[in-house]
Amino acid sequence: MVSKPQVRFTLGKQSSLAPDTVSCSDSDSDDGLEAIDPRVRLMFFSSEGDLEGIKKLLDSGTDVNFKDIDNRTALHVAACQGFTDVAELLLERGAEIDPQDKWGSTPLADAIHYKNHGVVKLLEKHGAKHLTAPMHVNNAREIPEYEIDAKELDFTNSVDITKGTFAIASWRGTQVAVKKLGDELFTDEEKVRAFRDELDLFQKIRHPNVVQFLGAVTQSSPMMIVIEYLPKGDLRAFLKRKGALKSITALKYAMDIARGMSYLHENKPEPIIHRDLEPSNILRDDSGHLKVADFGVSELLKGTHAAKHEKPMSHQDTTWRYVAPEVFRNEDYDTKVDVFSFALILQEMIEGCQPFVTTNERDVPKLYAAKERPPFKAPSKSYAHGLKELIEECWHENPERRPPFRQIIVRLESIYNSIDRKKHWKVQRFRCFRMMGMCKGEDSDTSTNNRSSWI
């Protein structure tokens, strides 16, 4: 019996990993096999979405897992074309879930490549596995130094932290915070780009007041970013518990934030704009110091003097209660948007409540755009000399009038030292008075004793 020769199915979309993609207009029919071979007709009907034709062929005994010369199956074809109903029928009839073609591509990989989300969900539901991540490299020498083996991350007792973005995991005996990007990332080029950008930023950052980057998982799915875990939580939770802070504490925290932000803004060759500076993205370490965190919507400022932004902000990206008016108006902006946010945070630490706390968050930027600012309600003594003026400068309507963080640090240190000197002087005066009182007491006792000896 003469076996049927192998054929190549060239109609429709081709493998996502094929070096040369061929469309139906490029196909050749060398000897008419495509028209008569039921296996090829199965591939053709799968590319056309012909459910009835597929059922008849399978009922007649055609192999649902037939592979052409490129090792492609009908499920590969259906995944490329985006026919979820066809893929479901093929799976019901016994189609293998993860067959690989000659280039190593699976039906799931093809569905992801062509952005056929319905097929992706169906294949994942049936247990299809992601072979590689979007940043996967073929040469071991190209694997980044920061790469962490996903098997080393233990999520057994995982708990979501920081707005659910990060989760706690155990890595080599140490608790870490892990940002895990779900498999939906593969079908969203914007999310892949955002992940790459955040990873690039983390690699540039090394500062005591910025959360420490430990590594990442990029060679398998899901991809992850791993940073240090700070168990004391974020500033938002702390302020919720404590309310208004003492001036000296607020100044210490403000200096921590300003130092971290100054480092980011003075990054070379391009400044790093945080764009989402708010209490939930500021973490407390074991020593009580603050660290700036969460660079998911940060970006590098392109150009020496440019005030351009490449990624428009949305309500899903950030908390609008701390957003500068130029961002809300979708105007060009620079590092001064972070200075505006900083002013609101500093005032909140002293006032004990969020800016415009009684106003719906979506409406707050409209107030900023109308040149309104949160009122100063705390007693005057809560604001050290010069602090209220600094806040007003930092949230100035004109970004050019807002001071850079380098200057903010100097002014905060001056205000802090002024308070510290006054505190020191009060302590010394108290001690002096106490000593004087003790001396008077001793003289009185001595006189009494002397008088007793005369009697």
Sequential DSSP letters for 310-338: SS---TTTS-GGG--HHHHTT----THHH
Return the pLDDT at 166.
Answer: 82
Return the pLDDT at 404.
Answer: 98
Return the pLDDT at 201.
Answer: 83
Cβ atoms of residues 216 and 203 within 8 Å: no
Half-sphere exposure of 330 (CA within 13 A, CB side): 5
The Cβ of residue 246 has, within 10 Å, a number of other Cβ atoms equal to 13
Q: What positions carry a catalytic annotation?
A: 276
Helical segments of 5-95, H only:
33-36, 38-48, 51-59, 74-81, 84-92
Question: For the chain, what are the domain ranges?
Answer: 24-125, 140-228, 235-414
Which of 3.30.200.20, 3.40.50.720, 3.40.5.90, 1.10.150.20 is the CATH number of 140-228? 3.30.200.20
Which of 1.10.760.10, 3.40.50.2300, 1.25.40.20, 3.40.50.12780 is the CATH number of 24-125? 1.25.40.20
Cβ atoms of residues 53 and 28 within 8 Å: no
Concatenated DSSP letters of 260-283:
HHHHHHT-SSS-EE-S--SGGGEE
Angle between helical axes of 405-454 and 247-265 (0-180°, round to 10)? 150
Judge whether 140-228 and 235-414 match in fold: no
Return the pLDDT at 105.
Answer: 86
Q: Kind and range of the H or E element at 407?
A: helix 405-454
- One digit per residue, pLDDT tens: the chain, 455 residues? 445 556 776 767 777 666 654 444 444 444 454 456 899 899 999 999 999 999 999 999 999 999 999 999 999 999 999 999 999 999 999 999 999 988 878 999 888 888 898 998 999 899 887 766 667 776 778 888 899 998 999 988 877 775 557 889 999 999 999 988 765 555 556 777 778 888 888 888 899 999 999 999 988 778 889 999 999 999 999 999 999 999 999 999 999 999 999 999 999 888 999 989 999 999 999 999 999 998 765 665 544 344 445 545 544 445 799 999 999 999 999 999 999 999 999 999 999 999 999 999 999 999 999 999 999 999 999 999 999 999 999 999 999 999 999 999 999 999 999 887 766 666 666 666 666 666 655 554 444 444 333 33
Return the pLDDT at 152.
Answer: 94
Helix (H, G, I), strand (E, B) or coil at 377: coil
pTM of the model: 0.67
Tokens of 347: 């005032």
C-alpha distances out from residue 32 to 8, 68, 384, Å? 12, 15, 89
Strand pairing class (223-228; 174-181): antiparallel
Cβ atoms of residues 292 and 260 within 8 Å: yes
Return the pLDDT at 299.
Answer: 61
Class of domain 235-414: mainly alpha
Is the peptide bond between 222 and the residue preceding it cis, with omega within 30 degrees of 0?
Answer: yes
Tell me which residue of 85, 88, 32, 93 sits closest to 66, measured CA to CA: 93
What is the Cα–Cα distance from 4 to 421, expressed in whole angstroms? 94
Residue with structure tokens 């169906």? 122
